[in-house]
Structure formats: structure tokens, C-alpha cells
Amino acid sequence: MRPMTAIIKCATRFDCDVTISNGPRRANGKSMIEMMGLDAEQGAEVVLEVSGPDAERALVPLAEILAKPEWSDPVPPENG
Amino acid sequence: MEIKRGIAVSPGVVIGPAFVLDAESFRIPNRLVERDRLQDELQRLRQAFQAAAGDAHQNQAAINDKLGTQYGAIFGAHALLIEDPVLQREIEGLVREKSYAAEYAVSRVMRRHAKALESLKRGPFASRSADIFDIEKCLLRHLLGHRREHLQDLTEPVVVLAHDLTPSETASLDPKKVIAFATEAGGRASHTAIMAGALEIPAVVGLGRFVTDISGGDLVIVDGNRGVLILDPDPETQTRYELTRRNLRTFESDLIHLRDLPAETKDGTRILLLGNIEFPPEATHCVDRGADGVGLYRTEFLYLGKTTDPTEADHLDAYLTVLRLLGSKPVVIRTLDLGADKFSTNTEIVAEERNPFLGLRSVRLCLRNLTLFKTQMRAILRASAHGDVRILFPMVSTMLELRQCKMILAEVKEDLEDEGIAFNRDLPVGTMIEVPSAAIMSDQLAREVSYFSIGTNDLTQYTLAADRTNETVASLYSPGDPAVLRLIEMVVKAGQKHRIEVNVCGEMSGEPIYTLLLLGMGLRQLSVTPHNIPEIKKVIRSATLEEAGRVAQEAMCLETAKDVNNYLREQTRRILPEIVVP
């Protein structure tokens, strides 16, 4: 969940629309529930789309988080 | 609309609003609100979101301190879910556009998403539905304040839906408020099933997952005759079921006036119709239906779901209650018929059995736990001083076992004599015939007891080596199977030869298509679930022994269970055209 939390927190800072796609699945990058539905495994290749007023400024920070090794980390331990 | 199939364990057809029993027994009070209340609802919703988000952040801070940020992050994720703009928009949308109450909107949206997540095969998020339910609970807790309603607080009749019901939950079901129930877990012989039958509440169990697909207040249909649960039925289905329900009620009300008429064949032979019970209050059902007594008092419930074994006083209390209700009519009390796995106070270290049904259960368990056995025997003997009591031993598989049981009984009698406690010295002793070896040896066993009680449920299972709760082989299970019929015939003949009473107490006796057959084979006593008494009585009163004899002879020539059942169905319809048989 940690990488997603980071992405969402980052995306929410910007006004533009953020969309992350995993194959045919598309998710609003500001919505936890949609991001969970992406069903992306570790090492999956995803596509980042940004559009809107501050889109250019959002691109780099978001891309960095996605590219981080954390995203490819094994899933954090299940709790309860 | 979703149709789910499970195991029918208690008959009846019901249409009603769902009461979803989840781990915290939340109940959604209303599905809809009036349009002029919409703004208030939206306000409540926003407050609940804020409060829930506040909780999540607080939890995160606290857990960060205690266990580190790795664990605290989980609550961080929860907070993000609660603050998720997409979710909030969806939920508010339902309130605004469909006038849903806040609680209902939350539940519907959350459960839909949870279901969608569960269908994800790969990835780590398939198990995240648990988080969704957590959030749902969180929001509901804030919306409902401390007004969490429990089963006890029901104000209108509902259909209870749950993963499973615990003994205490089932024991507290009020048939006036709980008009039916359906569970994901459970088999035909589970305590849930037994309770449903006992309380005469229509029920279906073993449905597999469905609770998460439904919200409190949704309309559901429970068909306890066919074992079907319908979630959110469409109007056409609703109409069809309304019709079925009315037809069934007409047939049933015709049967009620039979109560005071004797269970006598057309050619004047009186058949004893007895009742099977689990709990003292069910004895009332027996009396209400005009039973000739209790042919099987299952005593397992005294042991289930308790942390300590029942004391002699606990036993005696229950038995005396039944005797008071039955007056001078006979009551057959069966000793403990449970497996070691069901025991919470099992002191013997028993490694988990690979075959509990072929393992340490019933009299085998009792013979290794004499304190248990003797306590129950003492209570049964003491009760025998207050009414017509008989003792019955379950699952006897050898002559030796039976003799051992009788020896213990003799010892207990001696003890009571020494203590000067009153009891019936000639307490009739009987054995269940449910293990094939007992059926085969019935000729010898008949010399040692006053009566036999044929337990066709287990007899059928053991004879055909098929677990009726296992859907992959359940089709092999049929009491009409020629092998089972031959064993029953053997037992009846042994009983006739040694002049002892024989009755059938399994489900077979309560199924109207087998009545002619059983009568024709020579049985003169049937012990059935009280609910079935009127129907069986009607079949008996519509038949002659001569006819029954012919039917039995014909049936015994058939080679498959299917042929037998079809033939019997046909013959039963012939003498009683208006009977409703599945």
C-alpha cells in the first residue's frame, strides 16, 4: 500500500487530472479505491498520464515515485 | 437479482427484508429518506467522513509511535480511502439522486467495491476487501452513533443473513421477528440447521459467499423447501414466489385440523406418530401437532457451545421440562451423540481425527469418558421417576459396545439405589440402528434391548459411504436406495421375531413419499420433526395396510434409488393427489 499512498498524496497536491494505467485498467491517481483496482503486480509497467493546468509540474515527481524501487518491493506484511 | 443454491434445512418460503449479521451486528435502520431530509443526510455523511478520517489519522499517529511507520501506514491508507473523492462522490450521489439513507448508501458502495476487489485474481489487492469492510464499519459506527442494533432489538420481521450463526445467536432467535435465515456456512446436520428446524424457521445453509453482496434492508427470498436464496428478486420472481407461498399455506392450514384425529390407516391400524426434538420448548410443537410422544430427544444441545460440561442438574432440568409438557406420553432420551471435535471441554488429548465420522463419537466417546456418561445416565434415570422415560444409545456398532453401555447403566442404577434416589428400575433400553454392522447383527442385538430406533440419516451415509454434505457425492445419498431398504427390512424382521418395538427416527420418516413403504415393510411407529406430523398423518389416513404392503413389495424389486423414489412419489400422489412433493 505504501507506494500507492505516496502516489495519491503526491497527485492530490496538483490540480491536474492524473491517470495511471495498467494494461486496459485505468485509475484516477487521486483515488485510493480506483488505484487498488489497478491490480498491478510488482515490476508491472504502468502508464502515467497528466492533463490540466499544472500537468507539467506534476509529471516528474509522480514519475519518480512510480520508478522507485519501493514500487517493485515485495508487498508489505499483511495485518490482521 | 442473484440466485444462490444451498442446502434446504427447514421448510417454508419467505419474502422479506434482509438483516445482515456481520461480525459487529450492524443493522441499517432505513434504506431511504424523504426528499426534504436530503440536505441533512448529506451533512451527516460529511460529518461521518470527517470523523472517520480523524480516527484513521489518530490511529496512524498512535501506531507509528508504538510499532513504527510501516504499520502506521496501513491506517494512512485507510485515511486515504475515507478521503477518496471518487468514493465520496459515489456515496453522496446515491443520497442525492436516489434518496438513499446515508448508512445504506455507504454500505451499497463499499460492498460493491469490496466485491470488485475480491474478483481480482493476481496482485496483492484481492485481499484488500477486508480494508473496505473496515472502512464501512468505521463510517457506519459514526453514522449510527452508539445505536448499534442487535438481534435482540429487532422491531420488525426480518430475514437474517450471516456467514454462520453461533449457538447463542441461534438460541436467541425469536421466530416472530426472524422469519427466515440463510448462512454461508453449515451443513444439513450443523447446529444452525438443527435450530432452524427446531424453531420452525425456514432456512437454507451452506450457500457459500453471499453476505458481502447484500446490504441490510435489501429484499430477499428464502425458499427453505428447495434450498434457494434469491437476493434482490425482480418483480416477476417476486410474484411467482408470492403465489407459491400462498399455495403452501393453504395446504398447511388444511393439515392443522388433523391434530386431533388419530394416525390410523383406512383399514383401522393405529400407527404411533412421535416427534423428534432438540430443545425442551419444542416439546410444545409436538403437543400442538398431536404427537403420540417424543420418539427422539437429541441431547447434544446441552453440550454445544458451552465452556463446561452440563451438570446432572442441567440435564435433569431439561428432561423434566419436556416431561411436564408431554404429560404421560413417552419420551425417548438419547445419550450424547457428538464427536470429540465438538467438545470444548475435551480433556483427553485427541489428535485431530482424520475421519471424525468413523472416530471417537457418541457411545465410543462416552465409554471412554465415564463421568460424562454416568452424569447423563443419572439424570435420565432420575427423570424416569417422573414420567414415561426411555433411554436410547446412539451409534452402537457391536454387541460388546451395547453390553458395555448396559453395564454402566446397571452400575449407575446401583449408585442411585444406595443413595436412596427414586428411578424406574425397569427403564426401557433401546439402541439406534444406524451403523450397518448393527443392522446386520440386529437379530442378535434384538435380544438385548426393548426397542430399536432406525437412524436412517447415518445408516444411509455409512451404507453408501457417501457424505451427504459433500456436494460432489451427495447424489449417492438416498434413503430409498435398495441397499438401505434391505437393511431396514432386516431390522424390522429382527424386531418382529423378538417382539420388540421398532421405529424410524431419521429424516426418511418425515418424508411423505416413504410412508407407504415403511408401513408396508412392517413399521408401526415413526418419529418425525413436529412440523411434518400433520402431513405424515394425512398419508397414513389415506392408505390401507394392504396397499402399503404391495407398494413395499414392488419397491423392493427395483434396482436403483431413482426408480424407487420415482415409484414411491407416483404411488403417494395416487392416494393423496394434493400433496406437495418436491
pLDDT tens string A68-78: 765 544 444 44
Q: Which residue of B has its CA nearest to A76?
A: B70
Alpha-carbon gap: B181 to the closest alpha carbon of chain A (Å): 29
The helix (run of H) or strand (run of E) holding residue B140 is: helix B129-144
Q: Is-contact B399 B444, C-beta < 8 A?
A: yes
Q: Which residue of A has its CA nearest to B84?
A: A31
Question: CA dist B570 to B252, B542, B555, B557, B582, Å?
Answer: 21, 14, 12, 16, 12
pLDDT value at B325 more than 70: yes
Alpha-carbon gap: A77 to the closest alpha carbon of chain B (Å): 9
Subunit contact B122:A39, Cβ cutoff 8 A: yes
pTM check: above 0.80: no
Residue range B8-48, pLDDT digits in tens: 888 889 999 998 876 555 667 778 888 888 999 999 999 99
Alpha-carbon gap: B151 to the closest alpha carbon of chain A (Å): 27
Segment B425-440 mean pLDDT: 97
Q: A67 versus A57: which is more confidently predicted? A: A57
Q: Which residues contact B289 (CB under 8 A, 6 or more apart)?
A: B259, B275, B530, B531, B533, B534
- Residues in chain A, how many? 80
Tell me the backbone φ, ψ of residue B557, rounded to 5 degrees. Answer: -90, -10
- Which chain B positions have a beta carbon within 8 Å of A36's beta carbon? 117, 125, 128
Provide the β-strand partners of residue B502.
Answer: B452
Task: Give the residue from B69, B50, B20 showing the smallest Cα distance to B138.
Answer: B50
- Which chain A positions have a beta carbon within 8 Å of B86's beta carbon? 28, 30-31, 33-34
pLDDT value at B249 more than 70: yes
pLDDT value at B496 more than 60: yes
Residue from the list A32, A75, A76 with its beta carbon closest to the beta carbon of B84: A32
**Catalytic one of B78, B191, B285, B315:** B191
Alpha-carbon gap: B326 to the closest alpha carbon of chain A (Å): 51
Subunit contact B77:A76, Cβ cutoff 8 A: no
Question: CA dist B471 to B6, B7, B111, Å?
Answer: 10, 10, 28
Say what percent of chain B tops pLDDT 70: 88
Residue from the list A2, A9, A34 with its beta carbon closest to the beta carbon of B86: A34
Tell me the range of A52-61, B70-79, B180-189, B252-261 where mean pLDDT is highest.
A52-61
pLDDT category at B489 given cuts 50, 70, 90 is very high
pLDDT category at B227 given cuts 50, 70, 90 is confident
Subunit contact B77:A5, Cβ cutoff 8 A: yes
Residue from the list A1, A33, A76 with its beta carbon closest to the beta carbon of B87: A33
* Residue A33 in contact with partner chain B when CB distance is under 8 A: yes
Q: Is-contact B296 B254, C-beta < 8 A?
A: no
- Which chain A positions have a beta carbon within 8 Å of B87's beta carbon? 31-33
Subunit contact A41:B116, Cβ cutoff 8 A: no
pLDDT at B371: 93
Candidates B80, B113, B127, B137: best to mutate against A (most CBs of A within 10 A) is B80
The ipTM, to two decimals, is: 0.82
* Residue B88 in contact with partner chain A when CB distance is under 8 A: no
**Catalytic one of B285, B315, B505, B531:** B505
pLDDT category at B213 given cuts 50, 70, 90 is confident
Which three three-digit cell numbers place residue B514? 416413504
Residue B443: burial class (beta carbons within 10 Å; 0-12, 13-18, 19+): middle
pLDDT value at B280 more than 50: yes
pLDDT value at B497 more than 90: yes
- Which chain B positions have a beta carbon within 8 Å of A8's beta carbon? 80
Provide the β-strand partners of residue A30.
Answer: none
List, as one string, the DSSP characters of B7-28: EEEE--EEEEEEEEE-TT----
**Residue B492: strand, helix, or coil:** helix
Residue range B100-155, pLDDT digits in tens: 999 999 999 998 898 888 777 555 554 567 678 778 888 888 888 754 446 667 77
Q: Which residue of A has its CA nearest to B78?
A: A32
pLDDT category at A40 given cuts 50, 70, 90 is confident
- Residues in chain B, how many? 582
pLDDT value at B344 more than 60: no
pLDDT at A78: 41
Segment B196-218 mean pLDDT: 84
* Residue B124 in contact with partner chain A when CB distance is under 8 A: yes
**Residue B568: strand, helix, or coil:** helix
* Residue B577 in contact with partner chain A when CB distance is under 8 A: no
pLDDT value at B524 more than 80: yes
pLDDT at B580: 64
Alpha-carbon gap: B89 to the closest alpha carbon of chain A (Å): 11
Q: B192 versus B326: which is more confidently predicted? A: B326
Which three three-digit cell numbers place residue B31? 434504506
Give chain B's mean pLDDT: 87
Subunit contact A32:B130, Cβ cutoff 8 A: no
Rg of chain A in Å (alpha carbons):
12
Alpha-carbon gap: A64 to the closest alpha carbon of chain B (Å): 20
Residue range B548-559, pLDDT digits in tens: 999 999 999 999
pLDDT at B90: 95
* One-letter amino acid for residue B179 of the chain: I
Annotated active-site residue B505? The verdict is yes
* Residue A30 in contact with partner chain B when CB distance is under 8 A: yes
Tell me the backbone φ, ψ of residue B236, rounded to 5 degrees. Answer: -65, -45
The size of the A-B interface in CB pairs under 8 A is: 57
Segment B78-107 mean pLDDT: 92
Q: Label the pairing between strands B13-21 and B219-223.
A: antiparallel
Q: B485 versus B165: which is more confidently predicted? A: B485
Residue range B157-174, pLDDT digits in tens: 999 998 877 655 665 677
pLDDT value at B197 more than 90: no
